[in-house]
Structure 1
């Protein structure tokens, strides 16, 4: 069943490319548009068909039970339903896949009892919340809190699992759980005057990660360790910025775009950049550790272009946000192409 990865992973990347191309169109680039392109659903393609599939396939690839592969299959099938204008079916299979993902997250927590698995279990629940709200409301702003909690809990949980050898005190653990507990409650009350509390919690989690994760240690090393540290620090800074943007009260229609992409590009996709040299070789069962200094070019391009976009959003500079959005997508695709070429090169050298 693990051979399915060679079908699912390329389709997940196709979802990503489709989502990025639609993102270019939505931000104002006059690129060709076919009738089959699901232009309204850039968010579903990126959060569900791409990232939802990628996260689920990473989890099921280490399990021995065959049925669990149905989860990423359901998630990635949403791409085809979207391309054939069967939106409700696409949302339905994503919800079904997220329910299955909750099941394996629960199984993992019962098996290993790790702190990170506990956070990922809670995060899996909020993925279901996000898709359920979206199915009933068709509103991305209404569903955003669910996806934010899903990705934030999943990513922090993954970092805890990867760094469980670090001497993190029980006091520090309690601090992190407190930040998340308050964040979850205040997210439900966001529109009732709790926006400030949500922002404070995002700052609290970001500073906790900077203090207790391995980023500040890795940045002093060389090679891919230093790159990992730089990518992690960048992601945590964007989590701070997300919190700051949440404090701005304005009628600016682009402010939501700034907040949304500060989190999804600045935090989530920076984390994908940080872990891609680890995740993709592991999924493909290839024993290589791809690294080249050119990877920094794409990392910095992503951050600079995102800053351009956010600045353009805040000050309603249409051309700047449009240019920033273009280079957001190009830098992420360029990075993944670089990783692919490095993996192929190292694989050839091993023969």
Structure 2
């Protein structure tokens, strides 16, 4: 295996460590007994978004850029998660995350200068949102203040990548202006939340709703859902994720992105679990082979983690009602199981792909004998 590919595995290991600790920390927040390793409920959001997604997204971008220096971004993000788990002062992790985000932003600007089109601008804005969120957390010490920027990082990154693929569809004059308007509303809301939190978060939620509507209307997934195999699976992941983004946005418009709101858990997890992880499930069979240089052959069992994720998240949303906390706990536990099932499914598929490769290499010899 190429040495550069081998060097990516420690970064993936750091990302998976942050994911594991983040999931356990989320369970600890809901009074579920977890190992001491995962009992750091206070940094659950930072581990999931800044550490895990920060590492994975910046690693994918570094691979695409094909140069050495962009790998500093996932390295710093991964180390930031490690320092949180090690109990070092928060400023250490905050500084590492900010450095990782700055490097990702620099890489995104380099791509934008090479090809200045709407989707590269949006990807750069997504990286800038991660940077601003990390700096806000560093300056205030409040994770809540960083949340709209962190969510903006995830949503704009995904939306920018999906926007790129719309060039394969017939031109639709209204698509670009509507997309730009949605992004402007989202960023304006994130910015306004620092002065008038309730109003700003509400505007931010309207931006999310506008983007979810745009994706449902204009994304190529609507066409691919009529295909078969992996193409259809990816499309189903995407479309179901867009629905969850809309649900999270509607809950956010109702004021549930604010700290202490009754449906805050449902609003945030509809976006991060329902939307973002649906994107992860759908894109993993394409992105992971590009990063790790392994085959992930499609199998219908890929739908199993997706179905479990959606059912468990529905339980979690229901569990935000009165006298339904146990539903919320059970939903969170099944959320964790869905992520575990997804990892097991991907690993099993990699093993199956290797066996197929080995079988195809030995077949000619068998025929000669």
TM-score of the superposition, structure 1-length normalised? 0.93
Cα distance between partner residues in 2 of 1:64 and 1:178: 33
Partner of 1:224: 230
2:188 equivalent to 1:181: no
Contact map agreement 2:98 2:135 (CA 8 A) in 1: yes
Farther-moved stretch of structure 1 (163-172 vs 321-330): 163-172
* Equivalent of residue 278 in structure 2, options 246, 249, 270: 270
Corresponding residue for residue 80 of structure 2: 78
The reply on whether 1:326 has 2:333 as its aligned counterpart is yes
Whole-Å separation in 1 of the counterparts to 2:40 and 2:240: 31
Measure, in 2, the Cα distance between the counterparts of 1:198 and 1:144: 11
The aligned counterpart of 1:41 is: 43
Query: How far off its partner does 1:99 sit?
Result: 0.5
Partners in 1 of 2:205 and 2:303 — Cα distance? 29
Matched, 1:57 2:68: no
**3-state DSSP class of the match of 2:31?**
coil
User: Where does the alignment leave 5 or more consecutive residues of structure 2 unmatched?
Assistant: 359-369
| Corresponding residue SS for 2:216 | helix
1:113 maps to 2:116? yes
- Stretch of structure 1 that moved more, 2-11 or 331-340: 2-11
The answer to whether residue 345 in structure 2 is matched with residue 338 in structure 1 is yes
1:313 to 308, 314, 320: 320
Given candidates 235, 239, 244, the residue that maps to 2:245 is: 239
Q: 1:296, CA displacement in angstroms?
A: 1.2
- Cα shift at 1:316: 5.0
Contact conserved, 2:289 with 2:296, CA < 8 A, in 1?
yes
DSSP-derived class of the 1:265 partner? helix
- What is the CA–CA distance in structure 2 between the aligned matches of 1:280 and 1:215, rounded to whole Å? 20
What's 1:211 paired with? 217
> Is the CA contact 1:258–1:314 (under 8 Å) kept in the aligned structure 2?
no
> Unmatched 5+ residue regions in structure 1?
none
- Under a length normalisation based on structure 2, what TM-score does the superposition of the two structures give? 0.89
SS across alignment from 2:320: helix
| Matched residue, 1:158 | 161
Structure 1 residue 22, shift from structure 2 partner: 1.7
How far off its partner does 1:163 sit? 4.0
Q: Is the contact between residue 16 and residue 46 of structure 1 (CA under 8 Å) also seen in structure 2?
A: yes
Q: Which secondary structure does the structure 1 equivalent of 2:300 belong to?
A: coil
* Separation (CA, whole Å) in 2 of partners of 1:77 and 1:195: 30
Task: Tell me how far 1:2 sits from its aligned partner.
Answer: 3.8
Distance of aligned partners of 1:103 and 1:311 in 2 relative to their CA distance in 1, 3 Å threshold: same
Q: How many angstroms apart in 1 are the aligned matches of 2:339 and 2:245? A: 18
Pairwise CA RMSD:
1.9
Compute the displacement of 1:249 (Å): 5.0
Q: Is the 8 A contact 2:188 2:203 kept in 1?
A: no
| CA shift digits 1:133-181 (9 cap, x unpaired) | 1122232221111112111111001112244322242421011101111
Q: Deviations over 1:313-348 (max 9, x none)?
A: 143511000000111111012112201210221122
- Match 1:302 to one of 309, 313, 322: 309
Which of residues 110, 131, 145 in structure 2 aligns to 1:142?
145
Counterpart-to-counterpart distance in 2, 1:253 and 1:185: 22
SS at match of 2:33: coil
**Which residue does 2:29 correspond to in 1?**
26
Give the structure 2 partner of residue 280 of structure 1.
Answer: 288
Q: Quote the residue 1:261 is aligned against.
A: 269
Q: Deviations over 1:229-252 (max 9, x none)?
A: 111111100111011101335897
Aligned residues: 349
Tell me which of 85, 92, 96 is aligned to 2:95. Answer: 92
Give the Cα–Cα distance (whole angstroms) in 1 for the partners of residues 255 and 176 of structure 2.
Answer: 33
Say whether the 8 Å CA contact 1:38–1:85 is kept in structure 2: no
Q: 1:314 to 1:283 in 2, by over 3 A?
A: same
Query: Whose Rg is larger?
Result: 2
Q: Deviations over 1:100-141 (max 9, x none)?
A: 111000001111223221101011111111111112223222
